[in-house]
Structure 1
Amino acid sequence: MPLTDLPLAELRAFRPDVAEPADFDAFWRGTLAESRALAAAPEFSAAATPIGELIVEDLLFSGFGGERIRGWITRPRRSGRLPVVIEYIGYGGGRGTPGERLRWAASGYVHVLMDTRGQGAGWGTGGDTPDPHGSDSATPGYMTRGISRREDYYYRRVFTDAVLLVDAVRALPYADSSRIGVTGGSQGGGISIAAAALHPGIAAAMPDVPFLCHFRRSVALTPENPFREIERYLSVHRDRVDQVFHTLSYFDGVNFARRITRPALFSVGLMDDIVLPSSVFAAYNSLATEDASIEVYEFNGHEGGGFSHWLRQAAWLAERL
Structure 2
Amino acid sequence: MAPTPEETFGFDPAHGYDLGSLLAVPAPAAPADFDDFWRDRYERARAVHVAPATGACTAAPGGTKAYEVTYTSLGGLRIGGWLTLPADGEVRQGCVVTHGYGGREGPDPTLVPPNTAAIWPCLRGLGARSLHPGLPSDAASHVLHGIAARGSYVHGGCAADVWCAATALLELVPAAGRRLTYVGASFGGGIGALALPWDDRFAAAALTVPSFGNHPLRMTLPCTGSGESVRRHHATHPEIVSVLAYFDAATAATRITAPTHVAPALLDPAVPPPGQFAVHNALRGPRELHVLTAGHIEPADPAEEAALRASQRRFLTAV
Name stretches of at least 5 consecutive residues in structure 1 with no aligned partner: 121-126
Deviates more, 1:111-120 or 1:33-42: 33-42
Q: 1:105, 1:266 → 2: CA distance?
A: 15
| 1:302 and 2:291 are equivalent in the alignment | no
Once the two structures are aligned, what percentage of the paired residues are identical? 26
1:159 touches 1:195 (CA, 8 Å); kept in 2? yes
The answer to whether the aligner puts 1:25 opposite 2:39 as a matched pair is no
1:258 counterpart = 2:254: yes
Say if 2:116 is the partner of 1:109. Answer: yes
**Does 2:52 align with 1:42?**
yes
Tell me, yes or no, if structure 1 residue 186 matches structure 2 residue 180: no
**In 2, distance between residues paired with 1:284 and 1:50?**
32
Equivalents in 2 of 1:317, 1:184: separation in Å? 13
RMSD: 2.5
Deviation of 1:310 after TM superposition, in Å, equals 0.5
1:214-268 Cα distance to aligned partner (Å, 9 max, x none): 1111121133221110122233xx3x31x20111111110121011101111011
| In structure 1, distance between residues paired with 2:195 and 2:24 | 25
| TM, length-normalised to structure 1 | 0.85
Task: Give the helix-richer structure, 1 or 2.
Answer: 2
Following the alignment from structure 2 to structure 1, what is the Cα–Cα distance between the partners of residues 60 and 269? 38
Question: Secondary structure of the equivalent of 2:219?
Answer: helix
Structure 1 residues 105 and 75: CA distance shift in structure 2, 3 A: farther
Give secondary structure in 2 for the equivalent of 1:167.
helix
Q: CA deviation at 1:50?
A: 7.7
Match of 1:153 in 2: 153
Distance 1:177 1:274 in 2: 35
Which residue does the alignment assign to 1:177? 177
Distance 2:43 2:113 in 1: 35
Residue 8 (1) aligns with residue 4 (2): no
Tell me the number of residue pairs that the alignment of Structure 1 and Structure 2 aligns.
302
Structure-2 separation of matches of 1:245 and 1:200: 29
- Contact in 1 for aligned 2:222/2:228 (Cα 8 Å): yes
Structure 1 segment 228-243 matched on structure 2, within 5 A: 228-235=228-235, 238=236, 240-241=237-238, 243=239
The more displaced of 209-218 and 60-69 is 60-69
Q: TM-score, normalised on structure 2?
A: 0.86
Residue 64, structure 1, aligned to residue 58, structure 2 = no
Change in CA separation of 1:214 and 1:108 when aligned onto 2, cut-off 3 Å: same
Contact 1:214–1:254 at 8 Å: present in 2 too? Answer: yes
Which residue does 1:277 correspond to in 2? Answer: 273
CA separation in 1, counterparts of 2:309 and 2:112? 13
Secondary structure, aligned partner of 2:212? coil
2:113 touches 2:314 (CA, 8 Å); kept in 1? no
Query: Structure 1 residues 28 and 131 mapped into 2: Cα distance closer, same or farther (>3 Å)?
Result: farther
Given that 1:140 and 1:229 are in contact with CA atoms closer than 8 Å, whether structure 2 keeps it comes out as: yes
In the TM superposition, residue 288 of structure 1 has moved relative to its aligned partner by: 1.6
TM-superposed CA distance for 1:132, in Å, is 4.3
Q: Is the 8 A contact 1:82 1:174 kept in 2?
A: no
Q: Distance in 2 between matches of 1:227 and 1:201?
A: 30
Are residues 157 and 10 of structure 1, via their aligned partners in 2, closer, same or farther at CA, if it must alter by over 3 Å? same
Structure-2 change in CA distance of 1:213 and 1:281 (3 Å): same
